[in-house]
Chains A and B, each alone.
Chain A
Amino acid sequence: MTRIALPTGDLRGEVAALLESAGAGIPDYAAGSRALRFPLEDGGVARVFREKDIPVQVALGQYDLGICGSAWIEELTRRFPNHDVVRLRDLGFGAASLWLAAAGDTCDPSLRFVSEYPNVAEAVARRLRLARYRVFPVLGAADAYPPEDADVVLIAARDEADVASHGLRPLWRVLDSSAWLIANRRSLASKDLSGPLARLLSAGSSPHAPGALSVPASLGLRPLERAPRRTLRLALPDGHQQPDAVDVLQAAGIRVPGYDEGNVVRRPQIDIDGVEVKVIRPQNMAQQVALGQFDLAITGRDWLFDHLVQFPSSPVEMVVDLGRCRYGLAAIVKDVQADTVAGAVREWRAGADVPIRIASEYANIADHFGRERHLGRYSVIPIAGASEGFVPDDAEILIEGIDTGSSVRANKLTVLERFYESTNCLIANKRRPDGALRDVFDRIIERFRAGALQPAGVPGS
C-alpha cells in the first residue's frame, strides 16, 4: 500500500495532470475537493498537505512518496543534512527561484534576513561570512518587511520582474526550484513501490540535477545605524484575524482605510497623526514587537503564548485583551478510549515506548505541552496548515485552535484537553517609547481599551 503526499496550492493543477497522464489520476484531487485524503487503487492513500510540510512528512517516513518544490527540500536539507528524503526526478513544472531582495541600499549592522525559508537564509548568511546577522522566520508576507523591519528578504519568485512587483530590488538568485518527486529512503529500501514509481517516473520531464545554492560575494548593502523613529508603529494582522481586528478598530474609533474593508494592504493609512501601520501575519508580531520594530500590534494571545514559551525573557506583554477572535487551543486525538492525556499515552504505549507525535502550527506550544504533560519521548511535527486528518495516522496528538468544536465532532475527533483560551489582544514592548511618542502610545492604548469594553462593531469614543 503506497502512501503519497500531494501538494495543495499552486502546484495542485499540474500535479493532478501528471497523475492523470501517469494513469494514476485522482479525480477529486484534480477537481479541488476540500477532502484531504484520497484512497489509491493499491489500497494506499494520497494525502494533501501544504507544500512546505511534504518533505518533512516524507523524511519522517509517514509517506513513501511526495511531490513538492525543491526549494522546500533544500529548506529541510540545510537544517537536517542526514534526512531520509531521496530526490527521484525533476517533474519539469513549478519553476521558481529563491531570490535575495532588498528595498534599500543600507542595512542594519546586524543584518536582518526575513524569510519563509529560514534554514536556506541561514546557509546564505554563513556563506556570506557576515560578522553578525539575524534571520526572522515568517509564515508569509515576507515581502512586507523591508526596509523598516528587515534588510534582506529571501523569497520565492518566478523572475526578477516578479520580485520587483513586490516593491523590492532583486539582489541575487540563490536557488532554482521546480517540482520534484521524492521518496523516503527506508521505503525505497524495503517496500515495493514499483507500480507507482514506474508510472510517476515515466510521466515526468527529462531529469535535471537539483539546483545548487548560489551566494554572491557580497550583498552590496551599506551598514548603517538606524536613526531613532519619529513615528509610532502599529502592526495589524492579515488572514483570519483581520475581520476581528477591523471590529476592534471600529470600536476604538480608529479608521484604517483599505484595511477596514478587509483588503490586503500592507501599508495602509491611519487617521491618527504620528502613527504608521503595517499589515503582517499575526504569528510573527510578538518577535517584531520584542525587537522594537513595532510599538504596538494586534495579534492573538495564542501567538503571544507561543512566542513566550519559546523566549520566556522576551520583553513583550499584552497591554489590552481585546476580547474578540475567541477560540481555545486543544489537544485533539482520534480513536482513543481514554479521556485524559495520561490515559491516552498509556494506550499508545501499551506495546512499546513509542514516541508520541504532536502535530501543530504552534510548534513551541506543542513542545511546551509535551514537557508540561510529561509525555516522555515525544516529537513535535511543525505543520503549515491542512491540519484536519493529521490524527491518528500522521500524529497521535494535534494541537489546534477550536471554536465551538463542531468541526471536531464532524470529523469524529476527540478533544482530550482544552488547555488555553485565546482572544485577540494588543501587545507592546515592556520598554515604552520616549517623549512625544509616549503620549501617542498611551492615547492609542486608551482608545483600544475603551473599544475592548464595547460590544463588537460599536465605536468606543
Chain B
Amino acid sequence: MPELAESQLARGMRDVLPDEMARLRRIESTFGTTCAAWGYGEIRTPVIEPLHLFTAAGTLSPQTLDRVYSFLDWDGWSGERVVLRPDSTIAAARLYAERLADARVAKLFYCQPVLRFTDNGSSREDWQCGVELVGDTGRAGDIELVLLATDALARLGLQDVEVRLSHAGIVRAVLAAARLGPDEQSAAYDRLLDGDMSVVDDVESRLPQLDAPLRLLFEVEGSGSAYVANVRAALAAALPGLNPALDELAFVVEALEARGVAPRIAAVLARRFEYYSGIVMAFHHGGVRIGAGGRYDELIRLVGGRGVPASGFALFIGELAPFVLAPAAVTAVVSVGATDDTPQGIAAAHDAASALRAAGFTVDTLGDGAAVRVVCRNTAPKFTLEGDAAGSYERIEDVVAALERAR
C-alpha cells in the first residue's frame, strides 16, 4: 500500500477496522438485547440539533458549551446556529417532549455518537450506548438504571464493575447554605462541575457553623450505607438541607446492597453537565470510567416539554471496548472461484456461493486459491473441491454435504 505523506483524517477523529468493529458491534448488540429484555425501545436522534437546546442554564456547563461544534446551517440566515449533537440526553429529552409526551413512562435506549471539541489530542467523536427513563418512576427508576447498567456490563463479561453514586442535591444544599445568590450558586456549581475544587474553600469560609471540614465531603469517598450515615452525622446538623439528598441516596444504596451491589459514594460525580438534579451514577472498571448518568428532573421542561422527571445513563463505548472480548471470529471461509473467466463461469460461481451461504458457510468469491472450483464450459456446472473435502461433484448439494463433513 502506498504511504501517504500525512494522514488525511480530521483531527480528533478515528477509523475503526474490522477487528475492533466486531467488538463495538458486540457491545451495541449486547446492550440492545439487555435493554430490550428490560422493556426499553431503541431511538436515534439527529446528528444536527439547534444550539439553543444546549445553551440554556441547567443543561451543559460553560466549559462544555465552549467545546460544541456549532455553525450556521445552510438555512441559518436567521442567525440561529445548530450543533453537532454534543450530548444525547438533551437530544432525547427534546425527542420525548415533542414525540412521546403522552406516554406515562417512556423507556428509551440509543447507540450513537456525541461530538465535542478537545484540544489534547483525544477523541472528538465518542460513541455511547445510553438509556433514558422518562416518567415519574422516582427512586425505583434510579435503582433500575443502576441494575440495568450492571446487567449489560455483566453480559459483556465485566463482573467486577465499581458503581459510584452521588446526589446533585448535596452540592446544591451546600451552596444554598452558604447563602450564595442564585447566580453565584450557578457559577460555583459550574466551577465544581468543571473540576475547580478551590470553590470548596470559598464556600467553607461562608459556613462558620460547620462541625467538620467541608473538604471531608468533597475529598473523602466512602462505601455504601455506612458512609452515607457518617456524612449525615458529620455535616447534617450544620447543613440540614443535606438531609433530603442523603435520605434518597441512603434508600437507593440500601436497595442496591440488597441486590449485591456495593456502591461507592462521592459528593461530586457529574462533570460538565448541569442538568442532573438527583441521584448521579458512574461506572468504573479497571480504573477507567466506562459510564455515567443520573436524574434530570428539570431537563424536559427546559427543552420545552411539561415538567416530567427523568433519569438515564450512558456507557462509553470507546472506554469499554478494551475490556470486551471480540465475538468468535469466523473460523472457516470457503473460497469459491470459476475455472474459466467468462460471464457464465462467474455467474455459476455465484450460484454455488449462494447455495453455500444458505447452508451457513461464509463464502469469499474473490479470494486466491479457491477451495471450490466451479467448472462451467458450456455445460452444467461441475465442482472440484480441494483440501480436506477434496473431490469432484456434480451437484452443489453434494458439495455442501462434503464441506459439512469436513467442518
Bound pair (A, B):
yes
Q: Which of chain A's residues has its CB closest to B79's CB?
A: A134
**CB neighbours of B117 from chain A (8 A):** 81
Q: Tell me the complex Cα distance, A125–B66, Å.
A: 11
**CB neighbours of B74 from chain A (8 A):** 310-313
Q: Tell me the complex Cα distance, A352–B5, Å.
A: 10
A217 within 8 A of B: yes
Q: Which of chain A's residues has its CB closest to B54's CB?
A: A126
- Min CB gap B190→A, angstroms: 9
A161 within 8 A of B: no
A208 within 8 A of B: no
B48 within 8 A of A: no
Instruction: Given A126-B65, A126-B66, answer yes or no on A131-B55 (Cβ-Cβ < 8 Å).
Output: yes
Name the one of B5, B55, B119, B183 contacting A82, with C-beta atoms under 8 angstroms: B119
Q: Tell me the complex Cα distance, A316–B77, Å.
A: 10
Instruction: Given A82-B119, A217-B183, A310-B72, answer yes or no on A126-B62 (Cβ-Cβ < 8 Å).
Output: yes
Pair B77/A314 contact, Cβ less than 8 Å: yes
**CB neighbours of B80 from chain A (8 A):** 110, 132, 134
A272 within 8 A of B: no
- Min CB gap A116→B, angstroms: 15
Name the one of B55, B72, B77, B119 contacting A125, with C-beta atoms under 8 angstroms: B55
- Min CB gap B74→A, angstroms: 6
Q: Tell me the complex Cα distance, A290–B72, Å.
A: 14
**CB neighbours of B75 from chain A (8 A):** 311-314
B57 within 8 A of A: yes
Q: Which of chain B's residues has its CB closest to A315's CB?
A: B77
Pair B52/A133 contact, Cβ less than 8 Å: yes
A129 within 8 A of B: yes
Name the one of B5, B56, B57, B77 contacting A311, with C-beta atoms under 8 angstroms: B77
- Min CB gap B52→A, angstroms: 5
B343 within 8 A of A: no
Q: Which of chain B's residues has its CB closest to A215's CB?
A: B62
Q: Which of chain B's residues has its CB closest to A113's CB?
A: B79
A287 within 8 A of B: yes
- Min CB gap A431→B, angstroms: 13
B76 within 8 A of A: yes
A219 within 8 A of B: no
A312-331 CB contacts (< 8 Å) to partner B: 312-316
A49 within 8 A of B: no
Pair B183/A123 contact, Cβ less than 8 Å: no
**CB neighbours of B79 from chain A (8 A):** 112, 134-136, 287, 291
Pair B77/A126 contact, Cβ less than 8 Å: no
B198 within 8 A of A: no
Q: Which of chain B's residues has its CB closest to A131's CB?
A: B56
Instruction: Given A126-B55, A129-B55, answer yes or no on A291-B77 (Cβ-Cβ < 8 Å).
Output: yes
Name the one of A127, A134, A310 contacting B78, with C-beta atoms under 8 angstroms: A134
Q: Tell me the complex Cα distance, A307–B79, Å.
A: 12
Q: Tell me the complex Cα distance, A217–B119, Å.
A: 28
**Binary interface profile of B, 54-85, with partner A (CB < 8 Å = 1, else 0)?**
01110000100110001010111111100000
- Min CB gap B66→A, angstroms: 7
B113-151 CB contacts (< 8 Å) to partner A: 117, 119
**CB neighbours of A129 from chain B (8 A):** 55-57, 62, 186
**CB neighbours of A1 from chain B (8 A):** none
A270-294 CB contacts (< 8 Å) to partner B: 286-287, 290-291
A130 within 8 A of B: yes
A112-144 CB contacts (< 8 Å) to partner B: 112, 122-123, 125-127, 129-136
Q: Which of chain A's residues has its CB closest to B187's CB?
A: A217
- Min CB gap A376→B, angstroms: 11
**CB neighbours of B56 from chain A (8 A):** 129-131
Residue among B55, B56, B183 with most chain A CB within 10 A: B55
Q: Which of chain B's residues has its CB closest to A313's CB?
A: B75
**CB neighbours of B76 from chain A (8 A):** 311
**CB neighbours of A110 from chain B (8 A):** 52, 80
Q: Tell me the complex Cα distance, A290–B80, Å.
A: 13
Q: Tell me the complex Cα distance, A122–B51, Å.
A: 11
Pair A130/B55 contact, Cβ less than 8 Å: yes
**CB neighbours of A291 from chain B (8 A):** 77-79
Instruction: Given A82-B119, A126-B62, A310-B72, answer yes or no on A290-B77 (Cβ-Cβ < 8 Å).
Output: yes
Q: Tell me the complex Cα distance, A135–B70, Å.
A: 12
Residue among B52, B74, B78, B80 with most chain A CB within 10 A: B78
B163-194 CB contacts (< 8 Å) to partner A: 183, 186
Instruction: Given A291-B77, A310-B72, A313-B75, answer yes or no on A123-B66 (Cβ-Cβ < 8 Å).
Output: yes
B71-106 CB contacts (< 8 Å) to partner A: 72, 74-80
Q: Which of chain A's residues has its CB closest to B58's CB?
A: A129
**CB neighbours of B70 from chain A (8 A):** 122
Instruction: Given A290-B77, A313-B75, answer yes or no on A131-B66 (Cβ-Cβ < 8 Å).
Output: no
- Min CB gap A182→B, angstroms: 19
**CB neighbours of B57 from chain A (8 A):** 129, 131
Q: Tell me the complex Cα distance, A127–B56, Å.
A: 10
- Min CB gap A227→B, angstroms: 20
Q: Which of chain B's residues has its CB closest to A290's CB?
A: B77
A65-84 CB contacts (< 8 Å) to partner B: 81-82
**CB neighbours of A133 from chain B (8 A):** 52, 55
A380-434 CB contacts (< 8 Å) to partner B: none
- Min CB gap A242→B, angstroms: 25
Q: Tell me the complex Cα distance, A132–B5, Å.
A: 45
- Min CB gap B55→A, angstroms: 6
Q: Which of chain B's residues has its CB closest to A130's CB?
A: B55
**CB neighbours of B78 from chain A (8 A):** 134, 290-291
Q: Tell me the complex Cα distance, A311–B117, Å.
A: 25
Pair A81/B119 contact, Cβ less than 8 Å: yes
- Min CB gap A353→B, angstroms: 8
Residue among B57, B76, B79 with most chain A CB within 10 A: B79
- Min CB gap B2→A, angstroms: 13
**CB neighbours of A123 from chain B (8 A):** 66
Q: Tell me the complex Cα distance, A316–B75, Å.
A: 12
- Min CB gap B348→A, angstroms: 42
**CB neighbours of A125 from chain B (8 A):** 55
**CB neighbours of A315 from chain B (8 A):** 77
Q: Tell me the complex Cα distance, A134–B5, Å.
A: 42
**CB neighbours of B52 from chain A (8 A):** 110, 131-133
Q: Tell me the complex Cα distance, A353–B6, Å.
A: 11
Q: Which of chain A's residues has its CB closest to B117's CB?
A: A81
Q: Which of chain A's residues has its CB closest to B59's CB?
A: A129
**CB neighbours of A135 from chain B (8 A):** 79
- Min CB gap B116→A, angstroms: 13
- Min CB gap B183→A, angstroms: 4
**Binary interface profile of A, 133-162, with partner B (CB < 8 Å = 1, else 0)?**
111100000000000000000000000000
23 contacts between A and B (CB under 8 A): A81-B119, A82-B119, A123-B66, A126-B55, A126-B66, A129-B55, A129-B56, A129-B186, A131-B56, A132-B55, A133-B52, A134-B78, A136-B79, A286-B77, A287-B79, A290-B77, A290-B78, A291-B77, A311-B75, A311-B77, A313-B75, A314-B75, A352-B5
Closest 5 CB pairs of A and B: A134-B79, A129-B57, A311-B77, A313-B75, A217-B183
Q: Enumerate chain A interface residues (CB-CB to B < 8 A).
A: 81-82, 110, 112, 122-123, 125-127, 129-136, 217-218, 286-287, 290-291, 307, 310-316, 352-353
Q: For the A-B complex with A123-B66, A132-B80, A312-B75 known, give 10 more contacts whose Cβ atoms are closer than 8 Å.
A: A81-B66, A110-B52, A110-B80, A126-B66, A127-B62, A129-B186, A134-B79, A311-B72, A313-B77, A314-B77
